[in-house]
Chains A and B, each alone.
Chain A
Amino acid sequence: MKAFRYHRPADVAEAVALLDAEPAAAYLAGGTNLVDLMKLGVQRPELLVDVTGLPLDTVEVLPGGGLRIGATVRNSDLAADPVIRREHPLLSRALLAGASGQLRNLATTAGNLLQRTRCVYFQDTGKACNKREPGTGCAARHGQNRDLAILGWSELCVATHPSDLAVALVALDAVVEAHDPGGAREIPVAELHRTPGEHPERETSLPRGALITAVRVPPLPFARRCTYLKARDRASFAFAVGSVAAALDLDGDTVRDVRLAYGAVAHRPWRAYRAEEALRGRPFTAELAAQAADAELAAARPLPHNGFKVPLIRNLTVRALTTLAGTAPR
């Protein structure tokens, strides 16, 4: 593999400056994805800036409610954090549905958000991939695409975002705090990841060199009435075939508010705004939940091998919401 330089910055400013000065630099946190991709030749940084020594590894309760999760908090620590489990159990559930114990011990909050697609064509330098090498084509579009997108894809890329945590954060209206050479900025997680469009190689709206320092999760009064359902091909370590993050607030039997997001269906975690809209203010029934899912999935354009994801997500949506409403049929 390619030789690279390695640096541990003293603070965020130095980290950002190092990235700014070296076009082929990358931040290294848990390394559970980047190091694999370096071995495979998919990513070939000249410089690794190791941010795990920066003081970004705490979970704070913010005045007025809400939480700030440091960028380098390990997934295991975050999932087990008593405050998280109390205030935002959706995050714990999503985290524990992902990866393995060993991986969660290393992987970080920001690293989880910024992990790359597991599309097999992206990970193989012998195959065409516009995301890895713009202009080479998308081998997945007419190849093995069972695991790939049904929503928001383009002819140039049909990859999915693999994170479970990101789906939960999108549902919870979380906001990323980042530093870049231009200063500090905030980006809603729902706007952090892009759809591929004409530029699948651009995966996030972060400016070049930006370092995520924290993820802020606002308070949500009904955050404890939540669930994360993940359909997977095996019980042991597996990425989602499809997942649903949901939180529901009922006033009697009327939907006062709802949060719904889908995973493994698109290039980004997919907030189901249309479905939420279809639910709000209406008396909750299983039929309404199904109609809401259909409203969201009306835009789905399945690929040759993944048409099953549409009924799968629909069924998961109904189960998630009926369970939260206490009206699950069984």
Chain B
Amino acid sequence: MSAVGREHPRLEGPDKVTGAARYAVEYPVDGVAYGWVVPAAATRGRITRVDVAPALAVPGVLDVLHHGNAPRLTPGVDDTLFLLQEPTVHYRGEYVAVVVADSLEAAREGARLVRIDYDTQPHSTVLSEHHPGLYRPDTVNPGYPTDTTDGDFDAGFAAAEVRLDATYRTPAYHNNPMEPHATTAQWRNGRLLVHDSTQGSTPVQATLAQLFGLPPEAVRVVAEHVGGGFGSKGAAKAPVVLAALAARQVDRPVRLALTRQQLFGPLGYRTPTIQRVRLGADADGRIAAICHDAISQTSGVHEFAEQTAVYTRSMYAGRHRRTTHRLARLDVPTPFWMRAPGECPGAYALESALDELASACGVDPVELRIRNDVTVDPDSGQPFSSRNLVACLREGARRFDWADRDPTPGVRRLGRWLIGTGVAGSSYPARSRAAAAAATAAPDGTFEVRINATDIGTGARTALWQVAADALEVPADRITIRIGDSDLPPAGVAGGSMGTASWSWAVIRACQGLRDRLRHVPGAAVPADGLTVEASTADEVRAQRPLARYAYGAHFVQVRVDADTGEIRVDRMLGMFAVGRVVNPSTARSQLIGGMTMGLSMALHEEGLLDERYGDWVNHDLATYHVSACADIERIEAYWLPEEDPELNPAGVKGIGEIGIVGSAAAVANAVHHATGVRVRDLPIRLDKLLDRLPAG
């Protein structure tokens, strides 16, 4: 019986719940010292003086690193990592010094006492469509064209029977993984060993080697267990660089872990967006003209251009199409990846606009989406490897009992509650990237499979183990899987929903190779030192046919809104997905409902509150920055269609880490509109935005 497709608890689950699993700063290390970061108290300017004496006077403080004394780094591709090298301050909260001490408490107290003088300059931290500095970036993350155009949007829009022109706004959202970023760094004979909380230790190894001028083999990065990242650990981040600098400076191993408060900004966040969506359609809701203009922010340190409008390029029909991206370079931390960068905020706007178009045309919003399905990718002109958006909409609607829905907004009451339902489509690219893996057979009939994949809590380790069992055609309990160490065969990050697709490909090739070799071993006897086969997928991935590869989904949501207070509660979320083969249904379901809940959180709860006088976010803990939790979703279901797509990868999987969040905020917002008749176009939707606009009882 196949291991793939069967539910299996996480292999490391018992270690995690008993505390045996080690995270980055939990490994016992002799003589370890502790680092604590000092954030800039200026928003833009230069450091004119650093007085370390009060910090050094704290018993236990060993040293204070700052731009004037830190070891030198080699500038690289990511300037956010060129830390403690220059006196420039680019944004409030930028890490400008690190205090190292014998104890965590002494380091923290020392950090409070470092006195820094700044020569400050005026700052600009508020994103606006009127910002004078708006510019057109060369490309948008991770390399898409900035603008696209097809047909004549202006003419098509002007000629349309029904026109929708709406602007949607999303605030700054902050990645809040359970485990804040943390690193233990140790130098031994010129070699650097770090235990880092990262989504990919192969790229961290390369980045550290470059920054510190070392050959990659002199750097080892271990990330055996990682407590989430949501993209914020998708590349090397400040803590690993600061810990390595500090360890070199004090000539001792150094642990550096950030607090919850310190996560809000310097490690990346989802940029605020301002999105204008225009749809021109006929009276039946068939879209003729579609345009999505997105504005977001970047920093003065390093350019990050969120691909907000990319979702609109491939999702729905429309002969005349245009998408644009513009950036404002502000005195803020650099935005970065947060679960489905681009698709997530973009789908919020487009899927909200489709709901508004459905109302304007008097067409059911599920039907409207079905009418605007496409058979080839409107962006690339390529056929789809598989596209089951319509099937997801239909099957989701059936399970949700959508058919009898009265489209009239603001008319359903249950006691004090106004009830409404909403729908949204969803899609996310199904990509793969090159990876390498090794498989070893031991004489005792057991196997070890090695790949530098990373399990950030998703169940990736378990999924790869299941895949390996099928590829080796042996019972899974004879297989050990090793991941999370840059000494293992190199592989990409857990990001872009590419992990399982890419890693399983390499694992399957290594295991297939080993199985073939074993067939030819004389007498079927494995040598005493084992038999190993390594495989790389670089050539195969490069040779993939040019097709549009996407996962699809549909979200259905029911909300209730308190008619007296405007409080919004979510009764039910149902996600219907088409994601290729599902390796492990239990962990897959967790990924999908996690993404859906995070979309709810985006729609109703999360918001980085900027105070432009200071230039930073004033809410920076989980009591004041609300993240949805269990009580906020009363019933949540995720289902998937059977989907066989031979054009993906040998395991036939599409990524599932991100599609759950794409569109889910729009489905919630659309349900709030259906419940109340109030269309809120700036997230989050909270009671104060509804209270004076609710229908009278």
Chain A residues close to B by CB (< 8 Å): 1-3, 39-41, 118, 120-121, 123-127, 139, 142-144, 146, 231-239, 241, 306, 308, 311-312, 315-316, 318-319, 329-330
The residue in chain A whose Cβ has the minimal distance to the Cβ of B697 is A329
* CB proximity to A under 8 Å, residues B183-211: none
- Known A-B contacts A127-B618, A231-B687; A1 and B613 likewise in contact (beta carbons under 8 Å): no
In this assembly, does B565 line the interface, its C-beta being within 8 Å of a C-beta of chain A?
yes
Q: A269 to B562, alpha carbons, bound, how many Å? A: 24
Cβ B604 vs Cβ A311 within 8 A: no
Say whether B628 faces chain A, with CB atoms less than 8 Å apart. yes
Q: In the complex, which residue of chain A has the Cβ closest to the Cβ of B688?
A: A308
Residue contact A146 to B688, C-beta cutoff 8 Å: yes
A-B contact count (CB 8 A): 98
A162–B686 Cα gap in the complex (Å)?
19
Contact (A233, B687) CB under 8 Å given A118-B623, A144-B609: yes
Report whether B691 and A312 are in contact in the complex, using a CB–CB cutoff of 8 Å.
Answer: yes
- List chain A residues, Cβ under 8 A from B624: 118, 120, 123
**B618/A121 in contact, CB under 8 A:** yes
Contacts of B562 in A (CB 8 A): 231
What residues of A have a CB within 8 angstroms of the CB of B569 in the complex?
Answer: 235
Query: Chain A interface: which of B104-112, B224-232, B282-290?
Result: B104-112
User: Smallest CB–CB gap between B28 and chain A, Å?
Assistant: 24
CB distance from A104 to the nearest CB of B (A): 14
Shortest A160–chain B CB gap in Å is 13
- Kindly list chain B residues whose C-beta atoms are within 8 Å of the C-beta of A123: 621, 624
* Contact between B626 and A238, CB atoms less than 8 A apart: yes
Quick one: which of B259, B565, B623, B632 contacts A231, CB cutoff 8 A? B565
B105→A319 contact, CB < 8 A: no
Residues of B close to A39: CB separation below 8 A:
108, 259
Given the interface pairs A41-B112, A127-B614, the reply to whether A236 lies near B628 with Cβ below 8 Å is yes
The docked-state distance in angstroms from the alpha carbon of A329 to that of B564 is 12
A237 to B624, CA, bound (A): 11
Give bound CA distance, A128 to B565, whole Å. 32
Complex-state Cα separation, A209 to B103, whole angstroms: 32
Task: Give bound CA distance, A142 to B611, whole Å.
Answer: 10
- Complex CA gap A26/B613 in Å reads 34
Name the one of A139, A308, A316 contacting B613, with C-beta atoms under 8 angstroms. A139
Report the minimum CB–CB distance from A184 to chain B (whole Å): 35
B141 in the interface, Cβ–Cβ < 8 Å? no
Instruction: Decide if B630 is an interface residue (CB 8 Å cutoff).
Output: yes
Which of chain B's residues have a CB closer than 8 A to the CB of A1? 105, 108-109
B618 touches A124 (CB 8 A): yes
B155 within 8 A of A: no
On whether A319 and B564 interact (CB within 8 A), knowing A3-B105, A40-B261, the answer reads yes
A236–B688 touching, CB < 8 Å: no
Structural contact, A2 and B564, CB atoms closer than 8 A: no
A241 to chain B: which residues have CB within 8 Å? 687-688
Instruction: Give CA–CA (A127, B613) in the complex, Å.
Output: 10
B565 touches A139 (CB 8 A): no
Bound Cα distance from A40 to B416, whole angstroms: 41
Is the pair B618, A143 in contact by a Cβ cutoff of 8 Å? Answer: yes
Which residues of chain B from 564 to 612 have any CB-CB distance to chain A below 8 Å in the complex? 564-567, 569, 604-605, 609, 611
- Besides the contacts A231-B687, A241-B687, A330-B413, what 4 more A-B pairs have beta carbons closer than 8 Å? A118-B623, A126-B614, A144-B618, A308-B687
Interchain nearest-CB distance for B603 vs A (Å): 12
Q: In the complex, A233 Cα to B568 Cα: how many Å?
A: 8
Q: Is B605 in contact with A233, judged by CB distance below 8 angstroms?
A: yes
Give complex CA distance A144, B607 in Å. Answer: 12
Contact in complex: B632, A234 (CB < 8 Å): yes
- A235 and B631 contact, CB distance less than 8 A: yes
Instruction: Find out whether the CB atom of B109 lies under 8 angstroms from the CB atom of A315.
Output: no
Residues 37-52 of B at the A interface (beta carbon under 8 Å): 39, 41
Tell me, yes or no, whether B122 is within 8 Å of chain A by CB: no
How close is A302's CB to chain B, nearest CB, in angstroms?
11
Interface check B132, CB cutoff 8 A: no
Chain B residues with CB under 8 Å of chain A are 39, 41, 105, 108-109, 112, 259, 261, 413, 415-416, 562, 564-567, 569, 604-605, 609, 611, 613-614, 618-621, 623-624, 626, 628-632, 686-688, 691-692, 697
Within the complex, the shortest CB–CB distance from B15 to chain A, in Å, comes to 24
- Give the distance to chain A from B697, nearest Cβ to Cβ, in Å: 6
Partner of A318, one of B564, B628, B686, B688: B564
Q: Which residues of B contact A139 (CB under 8 A)?
A: 611, 613-614
Contact B109 A233 (CB under 8 A): no
State A124–B415 Cα separation when bound (angstroms): 42
Q: Which residue of B lies closest to A99 (CB)?
A: B623
Given the complex of chains A and B, what is the CA–CA distance between A308 and B689 in angstroms? Answer: 9
CB pair A315 B564 closer than 8 Å:
yes
Residue of A nearest to B610 (CB): A144
Interface pairs (28), CB distance under 8 Å? A1-B108, A3-B109, A41-B112, A120-B609, A120-B618, A120-B624, A123-B624, A124-B618, A124-B620, A125-B112, A126-B614, A127-B618, A139-B611, A142-B613, A143-B618, A144-B618, A231-B562, A231-B567, A232-B567, A233-B567, A233-B626, A233-B686, A234-B629, A235-B631, A235-B632, A311-B691, A315-B565, A319-B416
The distance in angstroms between the C-alpha atoms of A229 and B620, with both chains bound, is: 27
* Shortest distance between the CB of A299 and any CB in chain B (Å): 20
> Do A311 and B692 contact each other (CB < 8 Å), given the known contacts A144-B609, A234-B628, A234-B632?
yes
Q: Which residue of chain A is the closest to B39 with respect to CB atoms?
A: A126
Residues of chain A within 8 A (CB-CB) of B609 are 120, 144
Shortest beta-carbon distance, B374 to chain A, in Å? Answer: 38
Asked whether A234 and B105 contact (CB < 8 A) given A143-B613, A318-B564, A330-B413, the answer is no
Q: Please give, as numbers and ranges, the residues of chain B lying within 8 Å of A118 by CB-CB distance.
A: 623-624
What is the minimal beta-carbon distance from A37 to any residue of chain B, in angstroms?
Answer: 12
Q: What is the bound-complex CA distance between A232 and B623, given in angstroms? A: 12
A327 to B336, CA, bound (A): 53
Q: Is the CB of B109 within 8 A of A144?
A: no
Q: Which residues of chain B come closer than 8 Å to A315, judged between CB atoms?
A: 564-565, 691
Determine the residue in chain B with the shortest Cβ distance to A232: B567
A236 cross-chain contacts in B, Cβ below 8 A = 628-632
A330 touches B629 (CB 8 A): no
> Closest Cβ of chain B: how far from A256's Cβ, in Å?
26
In the bound complex, how far is the Cα of B686 from the Cα of A318, in angstroms?
21
A39 to B36, CA, bound (A): 13
Q: Which are the 6 A-B pairs with shortest beta-carbon distances?
A: A236-B629, A236-B631, A308-B688, A315-B564, A235-B631, A120-B618
- Write out the residue numbers on chain B whose beta carbons fall within 8 Å of the beta carbon of A308: 687-688, 691-692
| Chain B residues positioned under 8 Å from A3 (CB to CB) | 105, 109
A124 CB, nearest partner CB in chain B, Å: 7
Chain A minimum-CB-distance residue to B414: A330
B37 CB to closest chain A CB, in angstroms? 13
A1 to B111 alpha-carbon distance, docked (Å): 9
Count chain A CB atoms within 10 A of each CB in B109, B604, B623 and give the residue with the most.
B623
